[in-house]
Each structure stands twice: as C-alpha cells, then as structure tokens.
Chains A and B, each alone.
Chain A
Amino acid sequence: KAGVTQTPRYLIKTRGQQVTLSCSPISGHRSVSWYQQTPGQGLQFLFEYFSETQRNKGNFPGRFSGRQFSNSRSEMNVSTLELGDSALYLCASSLAPGDVSNEQFFGPGTRLTVL
C-alpha cells in the first residue's frame, strides 16, 4: 500500500505570491491533517479535513486555507506569501478522526522557500 504522497517536494516562491500544495492520503484513509514545521516553532497544526469538511483549525492567519476532495485528496493554499512562511509542510492521513487509536501517517512534506 502506497504511503502518503505530497507534491511538489520542493518549491521556491517570492513574497506576495500564492502557493498550492497537494496531499494524497493512504488509500482508504479519509482524514487529512496539515502541519507546518519550522526550526523556530517546531511542528504546528494547521487544519484537519474529513469528508470534505474542515473539522479543526490551528492558530494560523486566514492566508492559510485548505480543502478536501471527494477522493480524500487534500490541498492547502497560502496566499500573499511572507518570508516567515518558509517551512516544511507536512500532511498526515488516518482512517478517520475522533478515535485516538487511529494512527496518523505522515508524508515526506513539501519544502517551501519564500524569497
């Protein structure tokens, strides 16, 4: 069974631009969560989607948004990029939310650099 895939793996953008990152969960997994990882802040929760609905959201500005499609694939979008948005963006999938035994499987991440 293929793992969580994220595309692209690396991305370079300039300030003010917008970016869309994609995540394909493990087949059969319906819950997708997004995290931002930076050296200074560590791993921080962005949001979580299940059945095309955002069920939980972290403390990030409205420039960060996401969506989930009917096939459980998810995208996140960052508009008006700032230098501080440079980070590794991780996607994690699980069978379903709400059950603590549902292990999250992480993808390799998308490394975003904002110049």
Chain B
Amino acid sequence: GESVGLHLPTLSVQEGDNSIINCAYSNSASDYFIWYKQESGKGPQFIIDIRSNMDKRQGQRVTVLLNKTVKHLSLQIAATQPGDSAVYFCAEWSGGYQKVTFGTGTKLQVIP
C-alpha cells in the first residue's frame, strides 16, 4: 500500500540558517505532493506543492525538491526564522478525490 514517511521527528536549526526537511514515499504512481505547516493549535497550512513532472519548485523562502528515482522529496527553508517553528508534513494526493495521505511530520525548532 502507499505510505508517506519522514526521516526525522525533530529538527533543530539556528535562526538564519537553512532548514532541510526530508520525506520518503513508497507509491511510485504518486503524481502530486504537498508540504504543509502546522503551528500549535492550528490546522495544517499549505506551503508549496509539486507535480511529478517537475523536480524542483520554488516559493518564497521555500524550495521543494523531488527525486522520483529514489522516491524522496525535501523541503528547504532559507534563512529560517522563529515563525517557521512548527510541524511540517509532506503529503501525497491520491488523485480524483480530496484524499490526502500525510506523513508523520517533522517538528522544526528554531533556536534564536
């Protein structure tokens, strides 16, 4: 069955440094991936997405990289700020319906 997993449960980063959060998936047929940010007491918030026909997509301070060969994607946050402290989830879209399969999440802690 399909699954989406994250390598590290917690990541501590110094303010101003770059953060890299990794995610592995098992379904080679997956064609769309999303990164979400969830702050304490809030629901997940869309950050950036990428389709399988791309290997890189950039947003504001964030970049997502997709390696279909090894079924791995990563989220890079440039110049990490205290407001980036949250749990980050990668998610796979199943297509056709509003079903999103989430990974277990990585907690990003920004050290001032």
Contacts and interface: CB of A to CB of B under 8 A. Distances in A.
Interface in A61-115: 90, 92, 94, 97-98, 100, 102-109
A22 interface: no
- Provide the main secondary structure of the chain A interface: strand
Contact of B44 (A48, A56, A98, A106): A106
Nearest to A46: B99
A107 B45 CA distance: 9
A31 B31 CA distance: 21
B102 A48 contact: no
Contact of A56 (B46, B91, B98): B98
Interface size of A as a range: 20 to 34
Interface residues of B, number: 23
A107 B42 CA distance: 7
A45 B101 contact: yes
Given A92-B43, A106-B45, A107-B43, A33 B99 contact: yes
A104 B99 contact: no
Between B32, B51, B89, B96, the greatest number of chain A beta carbons within 10 A of the residue's beta carbon is seen for: B96
B98 A97 contact: yes
A4 interface: yes
Given A43-B105, A48-B99, A100-B51, 17 more contacts: A33-B99, A42-B103, A42-B105, A43-B44, A43-B89, A45-B100, A50-B98, A56-B98, A56-B99, A90-B43, A90-B44, A97-B97, A100-B93, A102-B98, A106-B44, A109-B42, A109-B43
Interface of A: 4, 31, 33, 35, 42-45, 48, 50, 55-56, 58, 90, 92, 94, 97-98, 100, 102-109
